């Protein structure tokens, strides 16, 4: 039995009286790709942010690599958080830095990597996302698809054990969605553990190991994509799929 890399036990989260996550117990094994889907407002982003403690759970446990993050002090949470790359819908690149500098920043500042090594790493990662010819460009000159690929390269620069994606293609023009999904698919094929919130059902079908359907504060279904799309078990999932497919 492999040990899970992420383990969530009885996770609950409210914002005041708004109970967003009610009781979630799930795990992610190393190398797995989990796609989280569900209606808007069902708590997908909140759930993802609880995984790296960007949101503090109201109750329950979130373990990463065998350590319960909810019991650790800020310093140790920060250290573990470095091992979880996160990519958001909005790319959040530093506008005043070149693409190369954006990628070099965290390894140099946080890990104390030297300039030469960081430069080499950044070029390698830019090749991986097919953007090495844009190393000296500034974020404002990039298309959305290019910016998102830089954001992925930047997250990878910290050599994370897990990548969390929150609707990484939702802000993109349709013609740019594919180039970002391709990079994510490559990453999955290389064995990266990934938790991906997305509405891209094609990606879920072809890349996910598991689909988690979230609604009403629970993971209502945890299935293989083949099972989920062919035989959704709950009325909620059937209703959701009828609206999006
Ligand atoms: P999803 O990503 O599935 O669309 P979210 O996790 O963004 O859902 O939001 C779930 C619910 O939590 C919504 O009702 C939203 O208003 C609420 N919420 C999310 N973040 C916050 C916050 N920082 N403060 C208060 N309420 C929040
Ligand atoms: Mg969201």
ipTM over the 0.85 cut-off: yes
The larger pLDDT score, comparing residue 189 to residue 245, is at 189
Lining residues, ligand 1, CB within 6 Å: 15, 18, 20, 38, 40-46
Residue nearest to atom 16 of ligand 1 (CA): 41
pTM of the predicted model, to two decimals? 0.97
Q: Whose CA is nearest to atom 5 of ligand 1?
A: 43
What are the pLDDT digits (tens) for 205-234?
A: 999 999 999 999 999 999 999 999 999 999
Distance between CA atoms of 154 and 138, rounded to whole angstroms? 14
* Model pLDDT, residue 1: 72
- Whether the predicted pLDDT of 245 surpasses 80: no
CA-nearest residue for atom 22, ligand 1, is 15
pLDDT tens digits, 79-99: 999 999 999 999 899 999 999
Atom of ligand 1 at shortest distance to CA of 166? 2
């Amino acid at each position: 039995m492999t040990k899970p890399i992420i383990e969530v036990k009885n996770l609950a989260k409210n914002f005041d009286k708004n109970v967003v996550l009610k009781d979630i117990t799930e795990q992610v094994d190393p190398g797995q790709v989990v796609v989280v889907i569900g209606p808007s407002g069902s708590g997908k982003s909140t759930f993802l942010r609880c995984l790296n403690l960007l949101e503090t759970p109201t109750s329950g446990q979130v373990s990463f690599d065998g350590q319960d993050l909810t019991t650790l002090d800020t310093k140790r949470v920060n250290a573990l958080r470095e091992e979880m790359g996160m990519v958001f819908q909005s790319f959040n690149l530093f506008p005043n830095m070149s693409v190369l500098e954006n990628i070099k920043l965290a390894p140099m500042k946080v890990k104390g990597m030297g300039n030469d090594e960081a430069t080499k790493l950044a070029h390698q990662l830019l090749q991986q996302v097919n953007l090495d010819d844009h190393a000296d460009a500034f974020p404002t000159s990039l298309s959305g698809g290019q910016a998102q690929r830089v954001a992925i390269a930047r997250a990878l620069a910290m050599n994370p054990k897990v990548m969390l994606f929150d609707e990484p293609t939702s802000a993109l023009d349709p013609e740019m969605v594919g180039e970002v999904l391709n990079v994510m698919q490559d990453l999955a094929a290389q064995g990266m553990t990934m938790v991906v919130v997305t509405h891209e059902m094609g990606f879920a079908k072809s890349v996910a190991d598991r689909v988690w359907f979230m609604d009403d504060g629970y993971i209502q279904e945890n299935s293989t994509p083949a099972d989920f799309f062919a035989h959704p078990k709950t009325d909620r999932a059937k209703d959701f799929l009828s609206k999006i497919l």
